[in-house]
Amino acid sequence: MLTWLTPDLQHILFTVFQGVVILVVTVLFAAYLSLIERKLLAWWQDRHGPNRVGPFGMFQIVADMLKMFFKEDWTPPFADSFVFRLAPFIAMSTILLSMAIIPITATWGVIDLNVGLLFFFGMAGLAVYSVMFAAWSSNNKYALLGGLRAAAQTLSYEVFMGIALMGVVMQAGSFNLREIVEAQSGLWNIVPQFFGFCTFLIAGIAVTHRHPFDQPEAEQELADGYHIEYSGMKWGMFFVAEYIGIVVVSALLVTLFFGGWKPLPYLDFIPGIFWFLGKTAFFVMLFVLVRGSLMRPRYDHVMKFSWLVCLPLTLINLLVTAAVLLLAGA
Amino acid sequence: MQTTVGNATQEADLPEVIKDLFAKFGEQSFVVQQTKDQVPTLWVERAQLIDVLEFLRGMPRPYSMLYDLSAMDERLRTHRWGLPAADFTVFYHLLSIERNADVRLKVALSQDSLSVPTAVNLFPNANWYEREVWDLFGIAFDGHPLLVRIMLPRTWTGHPLRKDYPARATEFDPFMLDAAKQDAEQEALRFRPEEWGMQPGTADEDFMFLNLGPNHPSAHGAFRIVLQLDGEQILDCVPDIGYHHRGAEKMGERQSWHSYIPYTDRIDYLGGVMNNLPYVLAVEKLAGIQVPARVQTIRVMMAEFFRITSHLLFLGTYIQDVGGMTPIFFMFTDRMKAYDVIEAITGGRMHPAWFRIGGVAHDLPNGWDKRVREFVEWMPKRLDEYVKAAIKNSILKSRTIGVAQYNARDAIEWGVTGPGLRATGIDFDLRKARPYSGYENFDFDIPVSQNGDAYDRCLLRIEEMRQSLRIIKQCLDHMPAGPYKADHPLTVPPPKEKTLQHIETLITHFLSVSWGPVMPAGEASQMIEATKGINSYYLVSDNATMSYRTRIRTPSFAHLQQIPSVIRGSMIPDLIAYLASIDFVMADVDR
C-alpha cells in the first residue's frame, strides 16, 4: 500500500504543499494589509478607520474585493491594450516570486536557491518594467511623468541596494538566504551591518514605491501617476502587489538582519514561525508608520540623497566589512 | 451727500494726492467726486488716463499697487448729481502702502465708443482685471495682449453685468446640452500654446503641455493651470479660472441689501462671517449707521474665529500637499471645536450669515464665554505641537524654503495682500493700518517675515492664529455691555420696541422687513483684512432697495494671476507647494 509514495515523491509533494501555503498566506496577508494599514493610520490619526463591515471592520476587505471584482474591467481606447494588461501581471508575479526564496523557518521555505539574493535583485529589477509598461501604455501625460520618475528612482536605488547587502553576503559567505540566517546564530546582522540595514531599509521602501518614495504615483503632484488609467481588478493587482512588496521587503529585512526565525536569547521555547511572523509584522507596521508621519521630499532631492548619501555610505560599509573580515581571517 | 465738486472749491480740504494731480495736469482735467468712503475719487478723460496712472505710479511715495479695476453700467442710474455723462464707467483703485492711502480714478465711456487704453504696461496685474471687464461688460482695452473672456466660456454670448442682461434663469430659454454643443464647448476649452505666445518646442525637443486641473487633487477646487513642461521643469504656465463663477456681483443687483448677506458668506467659503464684515460695513457707511461697541467686539471675535478655522485648513492642506497625510486630521478636530463654539453663538457652522446691517442677528447666548474660553485654552498647545511635529520637519523645510519666492516689489506689482505680502517684509495689515470695527482697541502683533517663500507664508499664518487667539481672549475679557444692534431706522431688522407706540417707527419697520431698507444714494467701499488678504466691497446705491453695483474685490484673484511670474523655471512639486502656500479658494477667485 502506498508503495508509489516514494521518498522522492513525498519530498516533491511536501515542497509543492509548502509553496502553495506560503503563496496563499502571503497573498491573503497582503490583501488584509490594506485593512491593517487603514486601521493603524486611523489610530495614529485620531479617528476610527473602517468599522462598519463586520466586528471592528474586519470584513471590510471582503467588501472591497467584491466591489473590485464587479467593477468594469476597462481598458482605455487610446491605450496600448496588450502592454496595458501585461503590466499588472508583471507587478504581481515578480514580487510574488521573490517570496519564494525566503526561508520561513528551519524546515519551511519554497526553495533554497544558492543565488537567492541575486534572484531577489533580478525580480526587483524586473518589477520596474510593470511601472514603466503601465506608464507608457496608458498614453497619459501624468502616467508618463510617473513612469519617468519610476525609472530614475529605481535606477538610483537598485545600485546601492545591491551593494548594501554585500556586507551581509560577505559575512555569511553565501547568497543563500538560509545560510545567511544560519550565519547569524551568534549575533544578528543588525549589529555588524547597521549601515547596511539603514540603507537597505531605505532602498526597500523605494523599491516598493511606498511613501515617502512614492514619487511615481505622488498623489498630490501626479494624481496617482503611472496607474492613473487603471481601474477594477487590474488596478487591484497593482494595489495588492504593493502590499506583497511590503511583506517581501519586511521578510527580507528580518532574514538578512534580524536572524530570520531565530529567537532572542532565553526565549527559544517560542517556535521559530512566531519569531519570523512577529519580526515581519514589526517591519510591516514600520512601513505604515513611515507613511503616516513623513512628508514627501522633492523628486530630485530623492535622487540626490541616493547618489550622494546612500551610495557612498554603502561603499564605505562594504570596504570596512571587507577589511574587518580580512583581518579576522588573517 | 454725494456732490460734484467744481474746479475751485475747498482747495484746503482736498487730499494731498488731488492737489498733486491738479498741479501736474491742471484742475480742468478732473472732476472730483465725493464718496462716503472718503477715498479720493476723480473722473479722468480717457485720453489722459494712462498719463495720470503713470504719474501716480511714478510719484514720490507712489501709488504702486493696482488694487482693483472694474466697471459699472451707468445707463439706468438716476442719482448722478451732475457727474460726467457716461453710459459705462471703468474705475481704477490704486493703493499706496507708503502713504497708507488710496485713490480711485474713473473714466466715463459712451456706448458707441466702449474702449479704454490698456494699463497692462504700467500694472501687470491689470491683465486679468481688464479681461474680466471685457467679459462681463464688453468694454475693450486697446493694446491688451490677449483680450479674451476669463470668467465665462469663450462660447458665451452677451456681457452679463450690463443692465440689459437678464439676471434670472426664468428670463432665458431652457438650457439644452446636446452632443454637438458639448463638443463645441470642449473644443473651446482646448489649449492653444501659440495664442499665449508659447513655443510648442524647439528644434531639438517638443515641450509637454500638461493640463493640471480643473479636476486635480492639489488644485484646491475647480482651477486649471496649463503647464509648459521641459521634463518636470515648468517653462511657463497659464492659469485658467472661471469654473467656479456664480455671478455673485450680478446677484447683488437683484437681492435686497439685507438678503444679500448669505451670498457674501460663500465668496470665500472658509471665511464665514468674515465675509459679511466688509459688506455690512460698506452698507453701514451708505446708511450712516454707527454700531454700538458691543456689536463691534462681537464681530471682531467671530471674524477672528473664522480666521483661525481658515488658517487651520490652510495648514492641514499645506502639509498634505507636501505629502504629510496625518496632521490635517488633527486640524479638523480643532476646527470642529471652533465650529462648535461658532454654532453655539450663531446657530450656523461654515456659513452662518450672522452679521446684520447695523448689528448682528442675536445677542451672545448665555454661557458663550465658557465655550470660547475652552477653545482659547485648547488651541495654543495644539499649535505648538504642529510646529514641532510638522513645520520643523526637515523634509517639509526642503520642500518649501526658497520655493516660489518673490520680493516686495513683485508682490505689490501683482496686487498681493495678506500673509503673501507680509512674508516679503512689508508690514501692512489693515487691522493696524486702517483699523475698522474697533480693531484699534486691541493689543496684538502683526507677524512679518523677510524671505517671501512658501515656508514663510506658512509660518506667518501660524503666528496669525496665535494673535487671533489673543484678540479673542481680549474680546472675552472685555466684552462691552449694550445692545446688539444699532438704534437706526435702516438697521435690519430695525428695533421693534417702539413700533406699537410710534407710527413712524411702525411704517419704517414694515417697509424695512417687507421691501427691505432703502439705502441713500451714494458710493461706499470697505476693505478688511480677510483670511486670505484684503477683501473689499464697493457698493453703489441708487436710492433703492437693491444695490446698483456690487463690486467684490477678492485677494485670491490677484494671487492666482501672479502664479506664472513666480513659478517659471521651477518643478511640478514646487508648484504644488506654492499653490498650497497661496491659500486660495476658487469661490473667492471667481465669485
**Class of residue B78 by CB neighbours under 10 A (exposed 0-12, middle 13-18, buried 19+):** exposed
Residue A60 φ then ψ, to 5°? -55, -40
The pLDDT of residue A101 is 85
pLDDT tens digits, A115-142? 888 888 888 888 888 888 888 888 888 8
C-alpha distance from B411 to closest chain A C-alpha (Å): 26
Number of other CB atoms surrounding residue A97 within 10 Å? 18
pLDDT, one tens digit per residue, over B546-567 is 999 999 999 999 999 999 999 9
Q: Which residues of A touch B321 (CB under 8 A)?
A: 220
CB–CB contact A141 B210 (8 Å): yes
Would you tell me which residues 66-125 of chain A have a C-beta closer than 8 angstroms to some C-beta of chain B? none
Determine whether the interchain pair A219/B217 forms a contact, defined as Cβ–Cβ distance below 8 Å: yes
Q: Give me the pLDDT at residue B180, please.
A: 92
Residues of B in contact with A294 (CB under 8 A): 323-324, 393, 395
Q: Please write the tens of the pLDDT for every residue from A38-96.
A: 888 998 888 888 888 888 888 888 888 888 888 888 888 888 888 888 888 898 889 88
Angstrom distances, CA of residue A199 to CA of A99, A285, A310, B87, B297: 21, 18, 6, 73, 58
pLDDT band per the 50, 70, 90 thresholds, residue B412: very high
Structure confidence at residue B377 (pLDDT): 92
- The answer to whether the CB atoms of B323 and A295 lie below 8 A apart is yes
Q: What are A166-184's pLDDT values in tens digits?
A: 888 888 888 888 888 888 8
- Per residue in B484-531, pLDDT tens? 888 887 887 777 777 778 887 788 788 888 888 888 988 999 999 999
What residue type is B23 in one-letter code? A
CA distance A61 to B449: 49
Which residues on chain B are in Cβ contact (under 8 Å) with A299? 232, 571, 573
Q: What is the DSSP letter of A108?
A: -
CA atoms within 13 A on the CB side of B306: 30
Average pLDDT, stretch B347-366?
A: 90
Strand, coil or helix: A309: helix
pLDDT confidence bin for B468, thresholds 50/70/90: very high
pLDDT digits (tens, 9 = 90+) for B4-31: 444 444 555 788 888 888 888 888 888 8
Rounded to 5 degrees, what are φ and ψ at A234? -65, -40
Q: In this structure, how many other beta carbons lie within 10 angstroms of the beta carbon of residue B513?
A: 14
Q: Quote the distance between the C-alpha of residue B314 and its chain's center.
A: 17
H helices within B229-326, ranges in order?
A: 248-252, 261-265, 273-287, 293-321
Mutate: best of A220, A303, A304, partner B, most B CBs <10 A: A220
Contact A35, A58 (CB under 8 A): yes
Mean pLDDT of B74-97: 88
ipTM: 0.84
Chain A's closest residue to B227, CA to CA, is A141
| Percent above pLDDT 70 for chain A | 98
Give B85's DSSP letter. P
| pLDDT reported for residue B5 | 45
Shortest distance, CA B46 to any CA of chain A (angstroms)? 46
Cβ-based contacts under 8 A for chains A and B: 79
CB contact under 8 A, A298 and B217: no
| Rounded CA separation A104/A178 (Å) | 9
Mean pLDDT for all residues in chain B: 88
How confident is the model at residue A330, as a pLDDT? 57
Check residue B9 and give its pLDDT. Answer: 46
How confident is residue B107, by pLDDT bands cut at 50, 70 and 90? very high
Q: Give the model confidence (pLDDT) of B166-177 as tens digits.
A: 888 888 888 889
Which of A101-105, B58-62, B290-294 is the least confident region? A101-105
Q: Tens of pLDDT along B47-84?
A: 889 999 999 988 888 999 999 999 999 989 888 877 88
Q: Is the pLDDT of residue B405 over 80?
A: yes
pLDDT at A1: 61
The residue with cell 484678540 is B471
pLDDT for the residue numbered B1: 36
Integer Cα distance of A215 and A201 in angstroms: 17
Contact with chain B for residue A294, Cβ under 8 A: yes
pLDDT over 60 (residue B186): yes
Q: Can you tell me whether residue A166 is helix, strand or coil? A: helix
Q: Can you spell out the DSSP letters for A77-106?
A: TTS-HHHHHHHHHHHHHHHHHHHTT---SS
- Which residues from B are below 8 Å from A295, CB to CB? 319, 322-324, 390, 393, 395-396, 399
In chain B, residues with a C-beta closer than 8 Å to the C-beta of A222 are 572
> How many angstroms separate the CA atoms of A23 and A99, rounded?
8
β-pair type (B115-117, B140-142): parallel
Chain B, nearest residue to A221 by Cα: B573
Question: Helix or strand or coil: residue B245?
Answer: coil
Arithmetic mean of pLDDT, A202-229 = 79
Q: What's the grid cell of residue B203?
A: 528644434
Beta bridge partners of B485: B359
B232–A46 C-beta distance less than 8 A: no
Please, which pLDDT band fits residue B2 given cuts at 50, 70 and 90? very low
pLDDT in tens, B424-459: 999 999 999 999 998 999 999 999 999 889 999 999
